[in-house]
Amino acid sequence: MYEFFRENKGKIIVETSIEEQRKDTNLDSNRFFERKELEIQSQQLLQEEQEDFSLQLVSSLDENLHNIKSMLDTPDDLVTREFTIGNTDHRCAVVYLDGLADKMVINDQIMKNIQIESVESEKELSDKAVHLVDQLYNKVLSICEGKRALSSDEILYSILSGDTILYVDGTNQVLILSSKGWENRSIEEPITEAVIRGPRDGFIENLRTNTMLIRRSIRDPNLRFKSYKIGRHSKKELVLVYIDGIVNPHMVEEVNRRLASIDMDDALETGLIEQWIEDNFLSPFPQIDHTERPDKVSWAVLQGKVAILLDGTPFVLIAPMTFGNTLQSQEDYYERWIVGSLVRILRYLGAFIAVFLPSLYIALVSYHPGMIPSKLAFSIAATREGVPFPVFIEALLMETTMELLREAGIRLPKPIGQTIGIVGGLVIGEAAVAAGIVSPVMVIIVAITAVSSFSMPSYSTALAFRVIRFGFMVAAALFGLYGIILAYIVVNIHLVNLKSLGVPYTTSFSPSFGRDWKDLILRFPITMLTRRPKYLQTENEKRMGTKR
């Protein structure tokens, strides 16, 4: 288990915990050898399966085509096109999957070149198939990306990734030619993150397009893209992004270790990757941020963080993440510092209301009515006259109804969902008040709480606040204000012990770094944010000059 921080007079020490190592060394010898024997057996079984699945490349074209069809069970979308090279008797074939490969690339840059160029330079072509493959690769084919296949597994993976395979009869050398060309969604404005000011391009489901958007923003030769293959069956490409010379190398090592440990059938979305590599799966708080905005990813990478991209999803992970990041928006840096600071303070106020307002109302009305001003207390008592439920049941019914309306509005089509969310809330609230089930003050409390929760920039954080809100309501119903204080202490203990890639979640509140407070609650002028966050322990701390 990786600990990025150890508090020692405000200093940060990067180290590896030896607690797990001690546990391993304390295992008795019998258990150790049993485990080793099981590991050896599992490796042997895996190798046998791979040997059965992997077929060796042969020099016969017919046998190679038969093998590839057998491995894929002859699907309808597998296209095999056999032809001869010019007027010679050299047989060859291209194999690809319809829908994944670009037919224009195959026709214009592969087949057309082979047939036309081979006719014009027929005398120069070798009679030997091995030399013929070299000539086709070096002189005939005009495709940008290509390589020789080393195994049938590599051929199979390339076909399933949209590449085209070129077989030549008489040799076991096979060419893998890049021809990926499936349909992609165009670059659009992010749907889940409203852009008020800033770039309006968003990530899409194509990995190469997403890496292009990051490279277009960061033109640094030290920008690194490290690829992984994730998923036993899907073999999806995952890319780790960071800037060498800025990011802490220990952080990169830890991320590499966690990504290398992923073992699942398929990673459909980065949310699965997030849950696999996060520090505490029992916490409702997100420990890794996600976004659809390239400018947010570029800003985070330039700060010294790492980003994780996955093919097939527009959501990119950013790590590490702190509690202060959950209440920050990228627009805070695009507006003047006074406006950005006030908006952040407003978000902190919204977070407080979203978590504590219903529980405070329950505690004051049920246990501490003397703390309410007299006129307001009389008004609340008058509105609650005839309500058959205790205030806790009343709040629980309204909050549950609001959550149901919110979830229904998300799942329904957009035009209907917006109507359900607005009209449903008004109609149900008005009908409940008219029927005497809830009081008008409770409707106001629930409405203000819902509006405040919408002010959170991070959707995952807003979900966490919605979860712990019910815990605070139960605590308030049991013990009043004392219960709220107790629940608040429990949440703080949890947050202080929570980590993101080993970084304390409550940084820079605790441990506290005075330099990082310039961009925490208040956002100081850009000219004063000359250093990268200290808690990231970057190799290069300076990010801008002081001259104007």
pTM: 0.81
Helices of type H across 61-192: 61-72, 103-105, 112-120, 129-135, 152-160
User: What confidence score (pLDDT) does residue 127 get?
Assistant: 59
Summarised one tens digit per residue, pLDDT across range 274-291 is 999 999 999 999 999 999
User: What confidence score (pLDDT) does residue 547 get?
Assistant: 55
Measured CA to CA, the distance from residue 178 to residue 2 in angstroms comes to 40
Q: Which of 13-17, 331-335, 424-428, 480-484 has the highest mean pLDDT?
A: 480-484
The share of the chain scoring above pLDDT 70, in percent, equals 85
pLDDT higher than threshold 60 for residue 473? yes
Radius of gyration of the chain (CA): 30
CA distances 143 to 129, 146, 176, 323, Å, are: 20, 7, 11, 49
Summarised one tens digit per residue, pLDDT across range 197-240 is 888 889 999 898 999 999 999 998 999 999 999 888 888 899 99
Summarised one tens digit per residue, pLDDT across range 112-140 is 888 776 666 554 655 566 677 887 888 78
Span 248-269, average pLDDT: 91
Summarised one tens digit per residue, pLDDT across range 20-67 is 444 444 444 444 445 445 554 545 544 444 444 445 688 888 888 888
Higher pLDDT, 143 or 360: 360
Side chain identity at residue 454, one-letter code: F
Cis before 504 (ω within 30): no
Is 114 in contact with 84 (CB distance < 8 Å)?
A: no
Residue with tokens 């290509």: 146
